[in-house]
Structures are given as C-alpha cells and as structure tokens.
Chain A
Amino acid sequence: MLGSPALDRASATGTTPSRLVRAEFMKLRTTSAWWLFLGGFLLFTALALLNNWFSNHYLLYPQQDPADRAQALAQAAQAHTPAGVAAIAASMMTSGQFLSVLIVMLLGVHVATNEFAQQTAVTTFLTVPRRERVVAAKLAAAACSAALLWLIATAIDAVVTPVFLHTQHVSTSLTGWVVVRPVLASLLAFVIWAVFGIGLGALLRDQVVSIVVAIGVYGGGFAVVELVFHAIYDLSHQGWILGLPVIAPAVASQVMVTAERAFPHAPPQWVGAVILTGYALALAAAGTAVTRRRDVT
C-alpha cells in the first residue's frame, strides 16, 4: 500500500510449506535461544564424553581393589575381546545420548510454547490461519535442528573416540555395524524426541509447565518405572517383568540406542523404537488437534 516497490517487484508466492519451515528457523535464529541451546548441548556432550572416557578406562583397566578384584578382572577381560571393544567404541560414539536428547526435547518444547509465552501466536495464526500447517512446520524445523545437533555430537565423538581407543591400546573398526547401528539409532532418537517435545508443548501450551513435565517424564519416569517393576519382580520373581520398564519413553529410548541389551531382560532394540515412536506420534497428533481447536486469547 501507499505504493510498495517491494510488493510490486516480487510477486508474493503465498504461504508454502518450505517458507513456513524457513520462518520457523528464522524464529529460532533471531533470538538468543539458539545459542543457549547449542551451548547447553555442547556442554552436556563434553561432560558425557569425559564421563564415558573414565568409566570405559576403568572398565578396561580396573583399579587395584581387592574386594571384587576377581570380578573386575573378568569384566576387563571381557572388555578386551573384539566384541567388548566394539561395545566400548559404540558407547563413546553415542556419548551424551542420555542428556543430549533431553536438550533436544526441550528445544522442541521451546519451539512449540515460546509463541504463547511471547504472545506472538496471534500474529503467527493471523498470517497462517490453518494452524496445522504451523505445527507441521514447527515439527519439521525441530526435527531438522535435532538432526543438526546429532551431526555435531557425532562429529565430536568421531574425533574423540579414535583418540581414546589409541590411548587405551585397543582398536576396532568404527564403521562396523556394531558401532554404526547405535549411531544411526541415536539420530532416530534425536528426531523422535524433538517431535515428542513439540507434541508435548503444543498440548500443554504453558512453557514452564511443559518444561517441568518434559523433565519429569524423562528423568522421573525413568526412576519411577524402574522402581515399580523391580518391586513387582521382587513379589513374583518373573524375569520378563524386568523388561517392562521399556514402556517409559526414556527407557524405550535407551533400549533403542544401546549396542547390546540396555539392561538384563531388556527387550530387543526395535521394541524400544516402536514404543518411543508411538509416544511421539500420539503426542504430535494430540498437540496438533488441540492447537487447531483451542481459542487463542
């Protein structure tokens, strides 16, 4: 209006999926959120690498402790076998898995809830009244960000792991399936947790409540489910009960990513993948449905 060279020059394309996703990336990029999430992510990755470095080192070379020295030596011998070294390499290559996906989930929560916290939701939904398109763009943007974070973490791990193996005087191929499978499963976990976070945020809308619930589901859910099923096991002594904690999303994620069994009686990896994907898709669907219908005031 009032004479617009910009509007006259370029014919407006209208809302397209790719422009919507780019708009979501702009929202992330134009505030300090992106750098804070990246910083937190790098910090957790570094801490996890440090932790894995030492725990794997002591697994290979146990300290002199007469009490359970025999058991430690047996474990060390097991760790020095080709399969043992491959498992150690896999754990190094997926360092930070446990806490990094928490950051990724919180990133999803942030992308979904920040527009309500900052009152930009009205403008967004006036621009794109078909709200499911906005949620879809947020899902895509969060999933892409998650994949990018995975790439960064994997790149760091891929530098540190060979150094670690060299200093421990063991060697294994990092391109073997035993190592590559958990690394790829980790990519899947990152993307699914981002979707999980968006779904949760869209459903709850309130930013602080969503963050508390997200952390509760992740950390608390882990502990509570383990406790409950161990208590049931103590009563019944049925081994399969110890595999049931996989119904908690965080446990399912661990089951999916771990190279071998995540814990005794753990179900196979694909069971974890199916359960985690199920949660994420159900939350995303519920979040989209609620966002479509709910009044924006």
Chain B
Amino acid sequence: MIILLAVIVLGGLIWLMRRGRGTAGRVEVPPPPPRPPGPPAVVRPIPRERLADGRIVITGLTKEYPAGRVVDSLSFVVEPGRVTGFLGPNGAGKTTTLRMLLGLVEATAGTATIGGFAYADLDQPIRRVGAVLEAGAAHKGRTGRDHLRIICQAAGLPLARADEVLELAGIAQAASRDFGGYSLGMRQRLGVATALLGDPQVLLFDEPANGLDPEGIRWMRELLRGLAASGRTVLVSSHLLGEMEQLADDLIIIAAGRLIAQGTVASVTGAMPHASRTLVRTPDVAGLAAALGGDAAITQASDGDVYITGADAAAIGDAALRAGVAIHQLVTQSPDLEAAFLEVTAGKAAIR
C-alpha cells in the first residue's frame, strides 16, 4: 500500500517537474519580434567621486579543482568608464573567474574585489553590480515579469522596477509570457533586464552576444557603450577577438587560467605576432634575395611559394625590376587578428 502510493506520488512529482521544466514538448508560439531599440536612452552619469567604487581588482586569484587548476594566479584591474573585453578560448577560466568575483565560487587563493569589497560584503549588492551569467536562468514556467518581481522583492526594490527594465531591454511585449517560450535572444535580453534592475555601477556580461541576431548585437553594443560612457564599469567576456575589437576599449586575454595580455585594444593587438607578409612567385628566388638585401626575411614553402617579411610589395617589385628578376605573382597578406589570437592562446587551453 505504502509502496504503491509512493510510486504514485513519485510519478506525480516527476511529472510536475517535467511540466515546470518542459516547455520542450509544448507547442512554441513564434515570439513577436523584439521591439526595435529606440534612440539610445540617456544614461545617468556616475559622479566623478564615485568612479573608484566601480573598480574591479583581481589579485592572485586561483581556483583549484581535484582535476586541476582552472584559474592560476590571475591578476588584473578593470577600470570604470570603459568597456573591458575579457577574452580567452572556451575553457580558459573566464566564467570561473567571474563566478569567483561574484562570490558564487569560492577561490582557492587570491582576492577579487569591487570598489574594495568582496561581492558578499557589498551592501545591497544588486544595486552595485549587475551580472548576466547565463541566458536561460529563469524558471521555464514563470513569466519574465514575475521572474524580475521576485528579485525586486528579495532585494527590497520597488516591484514596478520590473516593468521599467523590461522596457529597457526591449521585451516589454513578452512580459506576461512564460520564460520557457522565449527565444535565445529574448532570454539574453531578460538577463540584461535582470542585471539592470538595481541600476548598478558595475556590469558583468558572460558571452552576451550568444544567440542574438545582428539587430540584437547592435543593440547590445550600443547599450554597453552607453553604460561605459556614463562612467560605469563594463566587463564583457567573449571567445571572439573580432567581436571585442569593435566594442572594447581595453582587453584582458587569458588562456588556461593564466593572464596572456592586458592593455588597450591597440596595444594588445599591436603586440600580437601578425606582421604582414608578401607572397611571391618567382623562378629566381636567389636573384630576388640578393636584390632585396639583408633587411628582408625570406622563407620558401615546400610548394615553391616564397613568403617575404621586412619589405612590402612595392619594395619587392622595385628591387626585382632593378635586378631583372621575373615576378609571376605578388600578393600582400594582411594580418589576421583572429588567427594571431588563436596562436597566442593555442595549446594553453585544455578542453574542460
């Protein structure tokens, strides 16, 4: 009797949970297109004397799991008023670093502070820091508005704030719909709405462009730029350098939990091994080398192609003309930052 009833209850509960989780089986109503973002809203600037409260300082941060070190003696500073790109290949330790900064994961060693305080020691933390860690972090059977109102209730914010941030994030029309029916882009926007609830001075975004369409990416970019321009601290993680090049002011690059490079976008990308080279096809490699002299470095590939660095196409052509060397092909190969980034971080990122 007891066992039978237990089985009934268990079955019922599992059904309940699947219901809560499972909009997978539900017929998905196509989401209405997000409202086109209006003109960039006026962001209330952060007073100069409060700027320092937004400074993120990571010192010797280390996280060790039984399987190994995920973050290894990481130190860097994120300045307010700028968009900082936090770059690294998948599994480099970006998310773990952000989670340690937010007090979700306990550091094995080192400290991570915001305005001089550990996250857990901040008074009213969501009024100081907003974070978008993962799209899809809401109950599938709860509406977007209720999700936000619960956070307002717990944090002691007015419940009406939920509708304001829904409007800000461009998903006001989806406020009364269950989260399970949201598209990935709408989930990202709800994540942004959640982060903005407390009007925080510091914003952390973990891979915010995932799942966004080009329109959404443009909206996100303008939002992040606007936030930084108002004096807020904006830290955005990504595994794509190209994306960050267009958005960020500063870059922090990590791989295998270690700092690889830090500085302004120009200084970091400038230091990467990506000098342009020229592809030359010629029947007289030796003659061309003699004509170019010692400044140019010549490497010959197995297929007979010659790559020259240290002299541009014009210089090579002029030298070949003077020496009477025939040139069959002359191509300048421009630097590929993404390839350089992969090279810099290659072999350092274990698959985790």
Q: Which residues of A contact B (CB under 8 A)?
A: 1-7, 9-10, 12-16, 19-20, 22-23, 26-27, 30-33, 36, 40, 99, 102-103, 106, 110, 114, 117-120, 122-130, 207-208, 211-212, 215, 218-219, 222-223, 293, 295-297
The 8 A CB mask of B198-216 against A (1 = contact, 0 = none) is: 1110000000000000000
> Of B42, B134, B153, B199, which one neighbours A19 at CB under 8 angstroms?
B153
B154 touches A19 (CB 8 A): yes
- How many residue pairs link A and B with beta carbons under 8 A? The number is 170
Least distance between B71 CB and chain A CB atoms (Å):
13
CB contacts (< 8 Å) of A16 on chain B: these are 156
Q: What is the CA–CA distance of A2 and B189 in the complex, to the nearest angstrom?
A: 16
Please name all residues of chain B whose beta carbon is closer than 8 Å to the beta carbon of A208 when the two chains form the complex. Answer: 14, 17
| B160: min CB distance to chain A, Å | 4
Given the interface pairs A32-B19, A219-B2, A295-B105, the reply to whether A118 lies near B196 with Cβ below 8 Å is no
Query: Given that A7-B158, A15-B155, A215-B10 are contacting pairs, would A223 and B20 also be in contact in the complex, using a CB cutoff of 8 Å?
Result: no
User: What chain B residues lie within 8 Å of A14 (beta carbons)?
Assistant: 123-124, 155-156
Smallest CB gap from A98: residue in B: B2
Once the chains are docked, how many angstroms separate the CA of A99 from the CA of B5?
A: 8
CB A202 to nearest CB in B, in angstroms, measures 16
Asked if A127 and B41 make an inter-chain contact with CB atoms under 8 angstroms apart, the answer reads no
Interface size on B, residues (CB 8 A): 66
Q: Are B42 and A3 in contact (CB under 8 A)?
A: yes
17 new A-B contacts, CB < 8 A, other than A14-B155, A15-B156, A30-B143, are A1-B43, A2-B43, A5-B164, A6-B160, A13-B156, A23-B153, A31-B139, A31-B142, A36-B12, A118-B21, A123-B194, A128-B154, A129-B122, A130-B120, A207-B17, A215-B6, A295-B105
Q: Are A6 and B164 in contact (CB under 8 A)?
A: yes
Binary contact track B10-42/A, C-beta < 8 Å → 1, others 0: 101110110111000000000000000000011
Q: In chain B between 182 and 196, which residues have their CB closer than 8 angstroms to a CB of chain A?
A: 194, 196
Question: Which one of B125-133, B276-284, B305-313 is at the A interface?
Answer: B125-133
Contact of B321 with A by CB under 8 A: no
The answer on a CB contact under 8 Å between A36 and B16 is yes
Complex CA gap A297/B352 in Å reads 14
At the interface, is chain A mostly helix, strand, loop or mixed? helix
Residues B124-182 near A (CB distance < 8 A): 124-127, 129, 131, 133-134, 136-143, 146-147, 149-151, 153-158, 160-161, 163-164, 168
Q: Once bound together, how far apart are the Cα atoms of A215 and B10, in whole Å?
A: 8
The answer to whether A122 and B106 touch across the interface, beta carbons within 8 angstroms, is: no
Chain B neighbourhood of A27, CB < 8 A = 139, 150
Enumerate chain B residues within 8 angstroms of A118, measured Cβ to Cβ. 20-21, 138-140
Q: Which residues of B contact A3 (CB under 8 A)?
A: 41-42, 44
Residue on A with the closest CB to B104?
A296
| Shortest distance from the beta carbon of B94 to any chain A beta carbon, whole Å | 13
Say yes or no: A212 contacts B10, CB within 8 Å.
Answer: yes
A139 to B221, CA, bound (A): 42
Query: In the bound complex, do residue A122 and residue B134 qualify as a contact, i.e. CB atoms below 8 Å apart?
Result: yes
**A10 surroundings in chain B (CB, below 8 A):** 157-158, 160
Closest B residue to A113 by beta carbon equals B17
Query: Which 5 A-B pairs give the minimum distances between C-beta atoms?
Result: A10-B158, A23-B154, A129-B120, A13-B156, A1-B199
B9 within 8 A of A: yes
| Residues on B with beta carbons closer than 8 Å to the beta carbon of A127 | 125-126, 151, 154-155
Q: Does B274 contact A (CB under 8 A)?
A: no
Known: A2-B41, A2-B42, A120-B137. A129 touches B103 (CB 8 A): yes
Q: In the complex, which residue of chain B has the Cβ closest to the Cβ of A15?
A: B156
From B9, B20, B158, give the contact of A33 (CB < 8 A). B20
Say if the beta carbon of B99 comes within 8 Å of chain A.
Answer: yes
User: CA of A213 to CA of B142 in the docked complex: distance in angstroms?
Assistant: 27
CB closest residue in chain A, given B168? A2
How far, in Å, is B347 (CB) from chain A's closest CB? 26
Whether, in the assembled complex, B341 has its beta carbon less than 8 Å from a beta carbon of chain A, the answer is: no
Chain A residue with Cβ nearest B232: A1
